Amino acid sequence: MRRHTIKYTALFSILLVLLSITVQAQNERKFVRQGNSLYEQALADTTKQDTALYNQAEVAYRRALDKRPDDLKWNFNVGDAQYKQMQFDQAQSTFEEIAEKSTDKNEKARAFHNIGNSLLMQKKIDESIEAYKKALRNNPNDLDTKYNLLYAMDLKKKQEEQKKKQDKNKDQDKNKDQKDKDKDKQDQNKDQNKDQNKDQNKDQQDKNQDQNKDQQKQNQDQQQQQQQEQKISKENAERLLQALQNDEEKIQEKVKKAKAAKAKQRTTDKDW
């Protein structure tokens, strides 16, 4: 009788545990259903990106994950909600964890597909192409991934063409700038040469003027000297003539005296 009571109590405890697990699972699924409802409401409104509803959906999914953090499907829902909130870097991290933990090829392919989308929205084109290729390795028949891969590759091609065009324009601008610099340098050299020639011409003119002044002064000095010499020569000549005239007068006087003396002698010696 006592053994029967023990078995009954043990069975009752097991039932309580199972009932608790069932209730807990129902609560978790309730949060998931709540999150799905909010997500679908936000998705149905095509007039705007209702990030508030997507945020509420993420909160509900996380409440479910509090008890079952390794549930990949619910983690996938969190990643989708993050992506819809334009939290692309966070969504990328969530999908990378799923791709790493998942053993199902289709699930891996979906995770890599969404990693590619998250990278593409961050303008990481090369990385997104690699993610799409990984998705196709796990599910080669996924048309959506093929389309996104081609889209990303076309985007990369356009980006490279744009870069080439920009580099070409940059080179042209660089050449134009160099030409402008060369022209400015030529103009500067021309101006410098012009100024230098102008200065040289001015210096030469000033030098010529100084030389002309010096020559004029020298000529004037020579003229003055010649005039002075001529004046001196004239004065000397006049003095010389005066001296000659004085000598002539003295000679004439002597001659007269001599004649007078001779005449007197003749008179004295006359034979009467």
Please give the chain's pLDDT, 272 residues, in tens: 333 333 333 444 444 333 333 445 567 788 888 878 878 887 887 777 778 888 988 888 888 888 888 888 888 999 999 999 999 999 999 999 999 999 999 999 999 999 999 999 999 999 999 999 999 999 999 999 999 999 999 999 999 999 888 888 888 878 777 878 888 877 777 777 666 666 666 667 777 677 777 777 777 767 676 666 555 555 655 665 566 566 556 666 766 776 676 666 654 444 43
Residue 178 has a pLDDT of 82
Residue 248 has a pLDDT of 57
What is the CB neighbour count within 10 angstroms for residue 118? Answer: 26
CB 92 within 8 A of CB 119: yes
DSSP assignment of 126-145 equals HHHHHHHHHHHHH-TT-HHH
Q: Strands of the chain (E only): list them.
A: none
Task: Tell me the pTM.
Answer: 0.57
Residue 158 has a pLDDT of 94
Residue 29 has a pLDDT of 83
Residue 134 has a pLDDT of 96
CB 94 within 8 A of CB 86: no
Q: In angstroms, rounded to a whole number, what is the distance separating the alpha carbons of residues 186 and 67?
A: 79
Q: In angstroms, rounded to a whole number, what is the distance separating the alpha carbons of residues 62 and 176?
A: 60
Q: Residue length, the chain?
A: 272
Residue with the two structure tokens 């490279």: 160
Domains assigned to the chain: 30-86 (no CATH), 88-162 (1.25.40.10)
Q: In angstroms, rounded to a whole number, what is the distance separating the alpha carbons of residues 94 and 101?
A: 11
State residue 45 phi and psi, 5-degree precision.
-85, 95
